Homo-oligomer: A and B are copies of this chain.
Amino acid sequence: MGTTLKDIAEYCGVSSATVSMIINGKSGRISDDTIRRVEDAVRHLGYTPNIAARSMVTKQSKTIGLTIPDISDYFFSELAKGVGDEADEHGYDLLIGNTGSKLDKEKEYIQVFQGRSVDGIIFAPLNSCEENDLFQGLQKKHYPFVTIERYIKDQVPGVFMKNFQGAYDLTRLMIEKGHRKIAFITGPLCTASASQRLSGYKAACRSMNIAVDEQLIFSGDFSYESGNRVGMEFFDERECTATAILASNNRMALGFYEEILSHGLSVPEDLSIAGIGGARFYPVLNPKITTIDMPIYDLGREAAKLLFHLLKGEEIKKRAVEFNLNVLDQGSIRDLNTLR
């Protein structure tokens, strides 16, 4: 199809080795004249290097692989953007594997990635007991990879958000504003992030001498709909006397918020609400939801940075990069101390 090195070489009357060196910037000992002629020819003939051929000899493809559960989820597309931008700056391209949260798909992509000789892999969330084998296999092969928000034993390089601390801080804020009965909506507890957030909530309660009441813990799955569902359950149970709701992510918080409004109640006058981040949502609402700010884009970038360190064979000082999470108070938690 396209122009090859050989075409350029013949056109210039030099060998393809010479052209190769020039193209790869290893023109140390090549005459300026030749360099110019070759460069002209490259432009003239419109040469594009064949990456496959190059990969075969260099053993690297300048590509990194990324597996994510769902690219249409804002969390993961924002993450992918961070990874992609960082890769781009290093002259790498990105192959994305959409797993649909299925472990066998993830395994499949590992094969695909290897077949395509990607230089390294980044794995975003998905959790199962089988995973350790997966990662151990890669480690044994010395295949560089980085995980995002996946806590696993024998810690491999990874980037994380301080989910526990974020949940803890937000819960503390609610308590400090005078709430003693705070309902919690969990995410899918098989994921590390959801279970850590739950732990943070519980720890904060205990730290303020509030007994954790299992009746106040509702289980969701990070979806908007599960926020709705919990909202309906909540209002059905007459005896539920919570004054505030904390959702493990913002999507669920929004789902719950909808139920509050559709019951003709107001936030925060009748009920306070907060969410632990992880989904973009357009403000609109008044008040907006008090939340935990999550640096998703940076998380992706940092994961890629870590991978590139690995690829350069650099000694990694810290195999785990952790991100602090900050509370963003937007007025959806009522301050009970001010009434009297």
Contacts and interface: CB of A to CB of B under 8 A. Distances in A.
A72 B36 CA distance: 42
A50 B112 CA distance: 9
Nearest to A61: B52
Interface stretch (A80-88, A168-176, A186-194, A321-329): A80-88
A114 B59 contact: no
Interface stretch (A150-158, A202-210, A232-240, A279-287): A279-287
Contacts of A262: 286
A2 B257 CA distance: 52
A225 to B, nearest CB: 10
Interface in A225-272: 251, 254-255, 257-258, 261-262
A101 to B, nearest CB: 13
B56 A114 contact: no
Contacts of A283: 224, 258
Contacts of A339: none
Interface string A63-80: 000000011111001101
A98 B88 CA distance: 9
B93 A93 contact: no
A16 interface: no
B94 A49 contact: no
A282 B98 contact: no
Contacts of A257: 284
A77 B71 contact: yes
Interface residues of A, number: 52
A52 B117 contact: yes
Contacts of A59: 1
Given A52-B52, A52-B117, A96 B84 contact: yes
Contacts of A81: 70-72, 98
Interface of A: 1-2, 48-53, 55-56, 59, 61, 70-74, 77-78, 80-81, 84-85, 88, 93-98, 111-112, 114-117, 141, 224, 251, 254-255, 257-258, 261-262, 281-286, 297
18 contacts: A1-B141, A48-B111, A49-B115, A50-B117, A52-B52, A52-B55, A52-B61, A56-B56, A71-B77, A72-B78, A88-B98, A93-B95, A94-B96, A254-B284, A255-B282, A258-B282, A284-B284, A284-B285
4 closest cross-chain pairs (CB), A and B? A77-B77, A52-B52, A52-B55, A72-B78
